[in-house]
Amino acid sequence: MRKEANDLFDYHLEQMALSLRDQSLALPAEFDFSTQFGNDFAIQVWDPGGVLVYLSGAGVVLPKSRAGYGTVSVDGQDWRVFTLDDTTRTVQVAAPVTVRSGRATAMALRILVPVLATIPLYGLLIWLIVGEGMKPLVQIAGAIRRRAPASLDPLPERGLPEEVAPMVSELNALLGRLREAIDQQKRFTADAAHELRSPLAALQVQLDMLARARSPEESRAALESLRAGMRRAGRLIEQMLTMARLEPDAANETFTEIDLGSLASSVAAELEPLAEAKRVALTLRQLDAAKVRGQAQALHTLVRNLLDNAIRYTPAGGQVLLSINNLPSEVLLQVEDSGPGIPAEERARVFDRFYRLPGSHAEGSGLGLAIVQQVAHAHGAQVTLSGADGGRGLRVSVSFPALERALQGRA
């Protein structure tokens, strides 16, 4: 504002000089310009010979300056001067710098004071507007603060501003996922407690029988039953621990390129002694070189559970076939056995935790296929059950996306 005012004052000096250029000066005393422009200005007129022909009432004699704007000092006071050269005369118009500065400051204050006076009003308006806009957030914070620690109910979404609604929606989605995870953990704990009750009770009975044994033969029989019961309990606990490790974050593990054929071959070698003990032929029918993206330990668990189930449910003299086919759009892992199979109406339920087919006498915990389903889901794979070739037995097929598709999906 001060700069604009000084520019305006310079313009006034120039206009005054231009207006004086055309004035007639017969005698120096004929016309007193100070009566027209006031004593804030000093006016001097010089003839072409350099003689001062007029001096305003301000009484300040300024040195003759070159044309245009300039600042000169007279008796310790600075003057802003505009000099106009003409063929007939030279006109100088000047004003004290202190007067100009004071008027510029006054003009700036006249504009600044109202602005300063309205700042509290603006502050109040901003406080009210922001407070009104933040009210939904305050309400949401209050709703979160008041709710019980165990409450996972969704937050209210009605009447929220557009800027807040996405955040609340994502919070509700997170609460929903958390609620589902906690429910799964509760169900798992309840099912585990129920399933552990039976083998523990059986172990207690077998211990009682061992204590009551009256002959070495009875002791050996009771001890063998106790060992078998401990093996069953140990396998159940092992399966439960595997399920617990996979439960929340199998999909978040670091995925790498896995040679599924090599992994399946090593798992088959691990289970060969179990197959021999049950007199079941474990055959690698076809193992293509096939790579998938996944977590090595989880895929090892998947293949081991499929082969372990197949061997356990296949009677002596039967066979288990393992194959991996590298197809254009997928990698297909298949495990086929010659056991009793699973009726079509039961195939959906066998993926439930701790579910076992009625009348099944094979050792198991009912967690094998549930673990397979969970690992497959984390790897974007599909598990299907069907009858084996020949009409007897079971074929489990796990279809993994091809490596290129898996890379696109993870991206």
Query: Residue ranges of the domains in the chain?
Result: 1-146, 166-246, 253-410
Nearest Cα to Cα of residue 320 among 239, 378, 396? 396
Residue 381: C-alpha distances to residues 89, 239, 265 (Å): 101, 21, 20
- Quote the CA–CA distance of 275 and 323 in Å, as a whole number: 17
Of the chain, the percentage scoring pLDDT greater than 90 comes to 6
**pLDDT given for residue 190 in this prediction:** 66
CATH superfamily, domain at 253-410: Histidine kinase-like ATPase, C-terminal domain (3.30.565.10)
Of the chain, the percentage scoring pLDDT greater than 70 comes to 79
Alpha helices in 22-58 (DSSP H): 34-37
The yes-or-no verdict on residue 2 having pLDDT over 80 is: no
185-189, 204-208, 236-240, 398-402, range with the lowest pLDDT = 236-240
Tell me the whole-structure pTM to 2 decimals. Answer: 0.48
Residue 411: which H helix or E strand, with range?
none
pLDDT in tens, 132-162: 877 777 777 777 788 777 777 887 777 777 7
For domain 166-246, the question of CATH label 1.10.287.130 is answered with yes
- Single-letter amino acid, residue 48: P
For domain 1-146, the question of CATH label 1.10.10 is answered with no
- Average pLDDT, integer, range 125-136: 83
- Average pLDDT, integer, range 197-208: 70
The yes-or-no verdict on residue 245 having pLDDT over 80 is: no
Confidence grade of residue 398 (pLDDT, cut at 50, 70, 90): very high
**pLDDT given for residue 28 in this prediction:** 46
The yes-or-no verdict on residue 36 having pLDDT over 60 is: no
26-40, 192-206, 342-356, 362-376, range with the lowest pLDDT = 26-40
Phi first, then psi, for residue 44 (nearest 5°) are: -135, 140
- Average pLDDT, integer, range 6-29: 74
